[in-house]
Chain A
Amino acid sequence: MADETINTEVKYSAKDFSSSQDVRWCPGCGDYSILAQMQRVSPDLGIKKENFVWISGIGCSSRFPYYMDTYGFHGIHGRAPAIATGVKVNRPDLSVWVATGDGDLLSIGGNHFIHACRRNVGIKIMLFNNRIYGLTKGQYSPTSEKGKKTKSTPFGSVDFPFNPVSLAIGAGATLIARTFDRDPKHMQAMMKRAADHNGTAFIEIFQNCNIFNDGAFELYTEKESRPENVVVLEHDKPLLFGKNNEFGIKLEGFTPTVINITENGNSVNDVWVHNEFEKTNSRANILSQFTEMEGLPVPIGVFRQETKTTYEEDFQNQINGVKKSRGEGDLRKLLFTGNVWEVNGNGS
């Protein structure tokens, strides 16, 4: 259960979350869908409108807060998680969301991202991952595949990419999920999960930049190819995919392999059953690496979630504890404590 003030009176509609500003993304940009889904789910999150804060860095995606009719702060490149930490620590009652891009969060903001996860600050990080720098017009990003040809890598990039989900798991985020711009229902479900989560929620959203990296996720989003290339993670359900759910993923040791459950005496009982609440993050890590393994589908859904105390809770509890043991701060006592002496004015 999230700690944000629960709204019981007012009933909002998506329109209430739409600001008066013209949206200025390129026609066809995947960001539109993300905005629309967020505006659609916001009324159902049980959070008072005035308690939403959207914070961003710099990039196309980071214009997001301007378009949400909530409190918003469009910051500087890469620093949104740090700004959000300041807000959340000072005001744990607010529902604090970060809109960020792959360059923003993982390149310049990599440090703040991992430290927000490490601390388990109760913020919800929406990573709009288009595997390219949009706003600066098409350079490769830290999630671009090796060999990517862009304006800054005419001969192909020689960098290995980051895997954002692996990174978030490793850094200690407590809710880790992935979704697509082209799957509104699924995206809405993930946004709700983030809203309800107490602690750092990280959602990677595969987002199409139709100008600089068009079709990067086509394989996963097109009707034809999607069933065989995407596996939906659901708690307590076997990892099945394919047009007729004929494929399953079997875990042999640490190695995931694809089996056809209708052949060779295989059955659904051989298939890995997803558990979001796994004690260790080893299986979530394996899941996160599917994207780098030949023949495996890309997982969407919640990889893992964990219940841990949040940074802001521990932070506030410590303050309350000190207040309790020492008493509320008394300014006079503070100033007049230590090696204090009196001077009676006549120089003695």
Chain B
Amino acid sequence: MGKTILDLTDVTVRFAGDSGDGMQLTGSQFTNTTALVGNDLSTLPDYPAEIRAPAGTTYGVSGFQLKFSSSDVHTPGDSPDVLVAMNPAALKINLSDLKPNAMIIVNINAFDTRNLKLANYDSNPLEDGSLQGFTVVQVPLSQQTSKALEGIGLTNKEISRSKNFFALGMMYWLYSRPIEPTIEWIKSKFKDSALLAEANEKALMAGYYFGENTELFTTRYQVYPAKLPKGTYRNVSGNEAIALGFITASVKSGLPLFLGSYPITPASDILHELSRHKNFGVRTFQAEDEISAITACLGAAFSGALAITTTSGPGVALKSEAMGLGVMTELPIVIIDIQRGGPSTGLPTKTEQSDLLQAMYGRNGEAPVVVLAASTPADCFYMAYEASRIATKYMVPVMLLSDGYIANGSEPWKIPEPDSIPEIEVKFQTTKEGFQPYNRNENLVRPWAIPGTPGLEHRIGGLEKSNITGNVNYDPLNHEFMVQLRAQKVDNIKHDIPLLEVLGDEDADIAIVGWGGTCGAITEAVRRLRVKGNKVAQIHFKYLNPFPSNTKEVLGRFKKILCPELNMGQLSKILRSQFDVDLVEYNKIQGLPFKSSEIELKFESMTGGNGNGR
């Protein structure tokens, strides 16, 4: 049967099912294949906090969304064009997000009385007309998978587990993706179980041929590769990129990398990733708690390591006293906070940007630390390197903020040639002449003199000290002087970071200002607004303490500033207090990233929708 092939520029797909259905795996396989085909893309994994909530319930639904395109992609897409729903609960949870006319592919076999009841449906949505306006494709997914794997020697339960590969194969056919990369992946993943490998491969192929042969689909789609700059690419998640960035910084500085960490979602993957690369000499210390993780870091830094600690908001809370010790002893450490919904345990698997004030001010005493924020998954690589550079050059604790959205999300990354990445120059003090533990260079930075160096024996610690000698000193004026000096030292770093840039229309009246992981959504909103004829600028902060030296001037160029944040207005508060700017807050605190359409609408409501942003 001949089927038409339709060209599309971009598609947003969401896979959704029970948390036991393997939707994350399906999504990431689809992503990897799509990356290999050369599309630009962005992903949004979304999974519940419970490892296995009761099957079939709405709170057990796990989803994975990705947008892929033949042009630039900045977000995982606002509303899916296609939903693959493995059960009624998945349909129920995701329906309201879909585009009008979206395609819904359901596993019809899962729409039985039991599952409908578990999802709190009074009637079957496939029959009661409630899906009018959507294209519903009812695939007997479970049944087809069973048929394909009949007699293979697996239990029914095991067979049922392969249905995600059937769904994946079907989607590969529908979007004209190659099937081979996943077959290869299956072979290596299940190399210890030939039977499982065979089953999953069979299910995948069956899904693919089902697409080909069924009359349910009359059209298949094609999305051409994106016009990306020349180079070698790979798909990276934010957490993976952070790990790679630190290994790179370790190689480029010649310092051994020490990671002190205690597992916490969504930061654990950095610990996992770094643990895999011990052949780089990476020292991963899984501590007994966050306090041990960071204080071990301080010990490692004192003795000459590039020391980092990874965590999320609750862990940062525990680390705050030790961060103060890092400030006081002027030791280089990097604290990575992969933010999630708070307060307390909050929404452990959902994204939020609500640790900014904690990062800036969440310590006892006047304890300034450098604060950086990564803006996209690939940017995590550069910011990890940058955090290492600043920490070791200035002998200061540096906090690097990321969030659940960019940590788990992924995008194609143009891999840099290692030779093109500058060395990080680190000089330990080795000579006795003129050595004092708190002597300072032109940047007010004290020397890094590590144990084992003859003649430089000295003591550091948390008590207030005299400048230069480091001797304990409680003199009131000395304390004031030292507080100011530590602040000045951090402030001076503004001369060593990139200037703030204005993207979009430099002469617009309104700028949309953001920081960290909202970058993509804002970029996309600005792009669309400009296509519609609005004048609008974008300003994005990756350096938050100190701010770039031209911040006041740049913000001052605009009549109005719109500041979308996934919190109650934390950057807004800081900008108001430091730069006296007039800004409009736009706060979303739902554990979800911004859709670019939300920012677009907000902008339009500010301008009265008159189309020019003036």
Binding site for B on A (CB under 8 A): 19, 21, 48-55, 58, 65-66, 69-76, 79, 82-91, 93-94, 111-112, 115, 315, 318-319, 322-323, 326-329, 331-332, 334-336, 338-348
29 contacts between A and B (CB under 8 A): A65-B459, A66-B472, A71-B457, A72-B458, A73-B299, A74-B460, A74-B461, A74-B462, A75-B462, A76-B462, A79-B295, A86-B258, A87-B451, A90-B300, A90-B304, A111-B289, A112-B292, A319-B278, A323-B278, A329-B279, A332-B417, A339-B35, A341-B36, A341-B233, A341-B234, A343-B230, A343-B233, A343-B414, A345-B230
Given contacts A76-B322, A345-B229, contact A53 B278 (CB under 8 A): no
CB <8 Å contact, A74 and B278: no
Given contacts A336-B232, A339-B235, A345-B230, contact A50 B453 (CB under 8 A): yes
**Known A83-B299, A344-B230; further 13 A-B contacts with Cβ < 8 A:** A74-B463, A76-B321, A86-B300, A86-B301, A86-B307, A115-B287, A319-B279, A319-B281, A331-B248, A339-B234, A341-B233, A341-B234, A345-B229
Binding site for A on B (CB under 8 A): 32, 35-36, 38, 181, 225-235, 244, 247-248, 251, 256, 258, 260, 277-283, 285, 287-289, 291-292, 295-305, 307, 321-322, 324-325, 329, 414-418, 450-463, 471-472
Given contacts A322-B278, A334-B280, contact A82 B291 (CB under 8 A): yes
Distance from B478 Cβ to chain A, minimum over Cβ atoms (Å): 16
Among A58, A69, A74, max chain B CB count under 10 A is at A74
Q: How many angstroms between the C-alpha atoms of A333 and B414 in the bound complex?
A: 15
Q: Which residues of B contact A338 (CB under 8 A)?
A: 234-235
Q: How many angstroms between the C-alpha atoms of A345 and B258 in the bound complex?
A: 38
Given contacts A21-B472, A51-B451, A83-B295, contact A340 B232 (CB under 8 A): yes
CB <8 Å contact, A82 and B471: no
CB <8 Å contact, B462 and A89: no
Given contacts A50-B451, A343-B231, contact A318 B278 (CB under 8 A): yes
CB <8 Å contact, B298 and A86: yes
Partner of A339, one of B32, B225, B298, B303: B32
Q: CB-nearest residue of chain B relative to A54? A: B459
Q: Which residues of B contact A112 (CB under 8 A)?
A: 288, 291-292, 295
Q: How many angstroms between the C-alpha atoms of A248 and B531 in the bound complex?
A: 95
Q: How many angstroms between the C-alpha atoms of A21 and B303 in the bound complex?
A: 23
Q: Which residues of B contact A329 (CB under 8 A)?
A: 247, 251, 277, 279-281
Q: CB-nearest residue of chain A relative to B277? A: A329
Q: CB-nearest residue of chain A relative to B324? A: A76
Distance from B263 Cβ to chain A, minimum over Cβ atoms (Å): 15
Partner of B459, one of A74, A89, A335: A74
Q: How many angstroms between the C-alpha atoms of A21 and B35 in the bound complex?
A: 63
Q: CB-nearest residue of chain A relative to B331? A: A73
Partner of B452, one of A66, A94, A322, A323: A94
CB <8 Å contact, B279 and A322: yes
Distance from B307 Cβ to chain A, minimum over Cβ atoms (Å): 7
Partner of A327, one of B279, B288, B303, B456: B279
Distance from A169 Cβ to chain B, minimum over Cβ atoms (Å): 19
Q: Which residues of B contact A71 (CB under 8 A)?
A: 451, 457-459
Q: Which residues of A contact B454 (CB under 8 A)?
A: 48-50
Distance from A311 Cβ to chain B, minimum over Cβ atoms (Å): 9
CB <8 Å contact, A89 and B461: no
Q: How many angstroms between the C-alpha atoms of A65 and B288 in the bound complex?
A: 25
Q: CB-nearest residue of chain B relative to A19? A: B459
Given contacts A90-B305, A341-B233, A347-B225, contact A69 B285 (CB under 8 A): no
Q: Which residues of B contact A343 (CB under 8 A)?
A: 38, 225, 228-233, 414
A-B complex: 9 closest residue pairs judged by Cβ atoms: A86-B299, A74-B461, A345-B230, A329-B280, A86-B296, A347-B227, A72-B459, A82-B292, A71-B451
Q: How many angstroms between the C-alpha atoms of A87 and B451 in the bound complex?
A: 9
Among B248, B452, B455, max chain A CB count under 10 A is at B452
Q: Which residues of A contact B282 (CB under 8 A)?
A: 319
Given contacts A86-B299, A115-B288, contact A70 B232 (CB under 8 A): no
Partner of B461, one of A19, A51, A65, A85: A65
Distance from A148 Cβ to chain B, minimum over Cβ atoms (Å): 28
CB <8 Å contact, A335 and B297: no
Given contacts A74-B461, A343-B233, contact A89 B258 (CB under 8 A): yes
CB <8 Å contact, A319 and B283: yes
Q: CB-nearest residue of chain A relative to B307? A: A86
Q: Which residues of A contact B455 (CB under 8 A)?
A: 50
Distance from A250 Cβ to chain B, minimum over Cβ atoms (Å): 40
Q: CB-nearest residue of chain B relative to A48? A: B454
Q: CB-nearest residue of chain A relative to B256? A: A90
Q: Which residues of B contact A54 (CB under 8 A)?
A: 459
Distance from A8 Cβ to chain B, minimum over Cβ atoms (Å): 14
CB <8 Å contact, B278 and A94: no
CB <8 Å contact, B452 and A50: yes
Q: How many angstroms between the C-alpha atoms of A207 and B254 in the bound complex?
A: 45
Q: CB-nearest residue of chain A relative to B33? A: A339
Q: Which residues of B contact A339 (CB under 8 A)?
A: 32, 35-36, 181, 234-235
Q: Which residues of A contact B329 (CB under 8 A)?
A: 73
Q: How many angstroms between the C-alpha atoms of A75 and B295 in the bound complex?
A: 8
Q: How many angstroms between the C-alpha atoms of A173 and B455 in the bound complex?
A: 33
Given contacts A48-B454, A343-B38, contact A90 B230 (CB under 8 A): no
Partner of A73, one of B230, B302, B305: B302
CB <8 Å contact, B288 and A341: no
CB <8 Å contact, A75 and B235: no
Given contacts A86-B297, A112-B292, A340-B415, contact A50 B258 (CB under 8 A): no
Q: CB-nearest residue of chain B relative to A342? A: B232
Q: How many angstroms between the C-alpha atoms of A323 and B414 in the bound complex?
A: 28
CB <8 Å contact, B289 and A53: no
Q: How many angstroms between the C-alpha atoms of A335 and B295 in the bound complex?
A: 30
Distance from B380 Cβ to chain A, minimum over Cβ atoms (Å): 14
CB <8 Å contact, B299 and A84: yes
CB <8 Å contact, A334 and B451: no
CB <8 Å contact, B295 and A82: yes
Q: CB-nearest residue of chain B relative to A338? A: B234
Q: Which residues of A contact B278 (CB under 8 A)?
A: 318-319, 322-323
Q: Which residues of B contact A323 (CB under 8 A)?
A: 278-279, 281
Q: CB-nearest residue of chain A relative to B31? A: A339
Q: How many angstroms between the C-alpha atoms of A344 and B414 in the bound complex?
A: 12
Q: Which residues of B contact A93 (CB under 8 A)?
A: 452
CB <8 Å contact, B258 and A347: no
Q: How many angstroms between the C-alpha atoms of A72 and B472 in the bound complex?
A: 13
Distance from A111 Cβ to chain B, minimum over Cβ atoms (Å): 5
Q: Which residues of A contact B230 (CB under 8 A)?
A: 343-345
Distance from A129 Cβ to chain B, minimum over Cβ atoms (Å): 22
Q: CB-nearest residue of chain B relative to A312? A: B283
Partner of B325, one of A65, A76, A346: A76
Q: How many angstroms between the C-alpha atoms of A339 and B32 in the bound complex?
A: 7
Q: How many angstroms between the C-alpha atoms of A21 and B291 in the bound complex?
A: 30
CB <8 Å contact, B244 and A66: no
Distance from A99 Cβ to chain B, minimum over Cβ atoms (Å): 12
CB <8 Å contact, B459 and A86: no
Distance from B441 Cβ to chain A, minimum over Cβ atoms (Å): 21
Partner of B292, one of A19, A51, A53, A79: A79
Q: CB-nearest residue of chain B relative to A311? A: B285
Distance from A315 Cβ to chain B, minimum over Cβ atoms (Å): 7
CB <8 Å contact, B451 and A86: no
Q: How many angstroms between the C-alpha atoms of A341 and B37 in the bound complex?
A: 8
Q: Which residues of B contact A50 (CB under 8 A)?
A: 451-457
Q: Which residues of A contact B472 (CB under 8 A)?
A: 21, 66
Q: How many angstroms between the C-alpha atoms of A216 and B301 in the bound complex?
A: 40
Among A49, A51, A79, A326, max chain B CB count under 10 A is at A79
Q: How many angstroms between the C-alpha atoms of A90 and B415 in the bound complex?
A: 30
Q: How many angstroms between the C-alpha atoms of A58 and B288 in the bound complex?
A: 20
Q: Which residues of A contact B325 (CB under 8 A)?
A: 75-76
Given contacts A51-B451, A340-B232, contact A82 B463 (CB under 8 A): no
Q: CB-nearest residue of chain A relative to B229? A: A345
